[in-house]
């Protein structure tokens, strides 16, 4: 896949406003969160791309450190939004997908820049849960951490807690200070982690 870049250096172009590629890939240079998956049935084209991409970007995959998320059939049916924390790896990932499945149409991959990688967010979640449960130096965040996970769009983490905790701005701020990323706090009726 060849990238059509403005008349500036490739590295600078990826960090500024690149418009796209010959293959139709959409390059977003703003650090806006990735789109969120909808519940609609997915197309065969996008599912084929996802199947070839998953082993490359999921835990243990070659590109896990830059992978944020993927959204099937976005921005339109038959396309796949690939969210990376470092867009410089996009051409290499696209080539690896094509090598893994020569019938996969990589021109249907659209690049979005995620704020964080999934691996980074999962490490922050693990640390938060471990400190809340006392597996590491126990930290009292003011309210219980009942559950936590990376947000689907790789823009931060989600924490489930009591109704009071969900309503507490101070609790959210403590969690954000502890994790270093945006935190979405919601009520979670499940039992506290043990």
pLDDT tens digits for 73-108? 888 899 999 999 999 999 999 999 999 999 999 999
> Distance between terminal CA atoms of the chain?
48
Which pTM was predicted? 0.76
CATH number of 118-187: 3.30.300
Angle at 49 between CA 63 and CA 17, to 5 degrees: 65
pLDDT range class, residue 35, cuts 50, 70, 90: confident
Using left for φ > 0, alpha for ψ between -120 and 50, and beta otherwise, residue 162 falls in beta
The string of pLDDT tens digits covering residues 124-168 is 999 999 999 888 888 999 999 999 999 999 999 999 999 999 999
**Domain residue limits, the chain:** 3-113, 118-187
């Amino acid at each position: 896949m060849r990238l059509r870049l403005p008349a500036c250096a490739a590295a600078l172009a990826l960090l500024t406003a690149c418009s796209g590629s010959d293959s139709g890939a959409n390059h977003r240079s703003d650090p806006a969160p990735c789109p969120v998956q909808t519940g609609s049935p997915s197309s065969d084209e996008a599912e084929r791309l996802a199947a070839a991409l998953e082993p490359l970007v999921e835990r243990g995959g070659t590109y896990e450190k830059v992978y944020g998320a993927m959204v099937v059939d976005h921005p339109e049916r038959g396309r796949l939004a690939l969210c990376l924390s470092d867009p410089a790896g996009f051409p290499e990932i696209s080539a690896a997908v094509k090598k893994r499945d020569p019938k996969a149409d990589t021109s249907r991959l659209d690049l979005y820049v995620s704020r964080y990688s999934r691996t980074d967010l999962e490490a922050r979640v693990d640390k938060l849960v471990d400190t809340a449960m006392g597996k590491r130096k126990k930290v009292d965040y003011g309210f219980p951490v009942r559950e936590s996970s990376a947000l689907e769009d790789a823009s931060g983490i989600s924490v489930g807690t009591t109704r009071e905790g969900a309503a507490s701005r101070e609790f959210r701020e403590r969690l954000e200070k502890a994790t270093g990323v945006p935190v979405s706090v919601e009520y979670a009726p499940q039992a506290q982690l043990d």
